[in-house]
Amino acid sequence: MTSQIIEHSAMPSYVLARNLRGFIASSLFTMFVFMVLTAYLLPFLYMSLTAIKTADQISTGDILPLSPVTFTYEGKELPLYKVPDTDGTMQERALLTGRRNDSVFIDPLHPETPINWEGRWRNLEPVKRIDVHLENFKAASDGINFPRLLTNTIMIAVSGMIGTLISCSLVAYGFSRFPIPGKSILFLILVSTIILPPIVTLIPTYIVFSKIGWTGTWLPLIVPHFFANAYNVFLLRQFFMTIPKDLDEAAMIDGANPFQIFLQIIIPQSLPALVVVSLGHIVFAWNDFFNPFIYLLGEEDKWPISIGIQQYNYIFGTQPNMVQAISLLGLTLPVILFFLAQRVFLQGVVITGVEK
């Protein structure tokens, strides 16, 4: 131990200064990340706390869901206050009679003896306890028919996810493995469609779907995803290119055709990227409001959760606790999916941009 102390004391000053700078830099970075994370999570914290409050609790301005505590005395509900005792300690006592300069209180432990207290009772702090109202979620769910909206959203999201996985993986497989003439130009054209604003194609697309009688159905929200999109094709292509082609050649020697290679070599090796695409589409379908709004207008029984929550906000806009409760219900499933798949999701995000 003594030798270690001597060695540490003999450490050059520039080494100590470098270590100190490194510690300060890491501390500042950690503080910055913590502040950003706190600012990002504050709205979710506010949403969660507001969703379990009543309107009266919201009006008090308390951060936590607090309700005044009462004491039953001779059939009456008396509010409890923190009253200073003669020895300076604070005691919880029930207000029996409140007057301007003196009041009568009841000790809950000894209610048989009223206590006269001199002072203004309005300046006393009321006793409050945590009072969580989980019934808000049931009331909000019943008011919006949440199970039906949830079922509709899951049907739309899962159907579109299946189409996205099939179409995007096949297109990405072609771009990453086959010597297609002009492949680079075709891929550049495909990727360039990412910057094309959706509003440009909105009217022509709506006219086409209206002519073929798809308005008022889920088909405009599902079928287009069976024809791939540039963003997911780019992600999957980048991931497929990290898989060694030696595996393809070994499978071809064993007699596998390109489709068998795709199913037995590429797909099993690409689980992280496929999870990224799946979660990305589910979140997109979950949050999509505009497309269901224009294609399902008037079809209330086919609405997804995004439209249902918006309509609920219009009706119950004066009840922020109910609005936050239904919003929290709509947020729950995507958050659960992300946490269940976060390991594979983050792995796919990291590996997707790496090319061997």
Say if CB 95 and CB 83 are below 8 A apart. Answer: no
Of residues 47, 134, 52, 136, the one with CA closest to residue 327: 47
* CA distance linking residue 34 with residue 36, whole number of Å: 6
Looking at residue 291, its pLDDT comes to 92
Encode pLDDT of 197-229 as tens digits: 888 888 999 999 999 999 999 999 999 999 999
Instruction: With cut-offs at 50, 70 and 90, classify the pLDDT of residue 161.
Output: very high
**So what's the pLDDT on residue 349?**
52
Q: Rounded to an integer, what distance in angstroms lies between the CA atom of residue 241 and that of residue 234?
A: 11
Domain 136-352 falls under CATH 3.40.50.300:
no
Instruction: Give yes or no for residue 293 having a pLDDT over 70.
Output: yes
pLDDT at 148: 92
Report residue 1's pLDDT band, with 50, 70 and 90 as the boundaries: very low
What mean pLDDT, rounded, does the chain reach? 85
Q: What is the pLDDT of residue 5?
A: 44
What does the domain layout of the chain look like in residue ranges?
2-51, 66-130, 136-352
Identity at 145, one-letter amino acid code: N
> For the segment 308-324, what is each residue's pLDDT rounded down to a tens digit?
888 888 877 788 888 88
Give the span between the Cα atoms of 30 and 36, in whole angstroms: 10
Asked if residue 115 lies in contact with residue 106, where contact means CB atoms within 8 angstroms, the answer is yes
Question: What does the pLDDT look like over 169-181, one tens digit per residue?
Answer: 999 999 999 888 8
For residue 81, which of 109, 110, 123, 130 has the smallest C-alpha distance?
123
Using DSSP's 3-state secondary structure scheme, residue 61 falls into coil
- How much is the pLDDT for 355? 47
Q: What is the pLDDT of residues 47-89, one digit of tens each?
A: 889 999 988 888 888 888 998 888 888 888 888 999 888 777 8
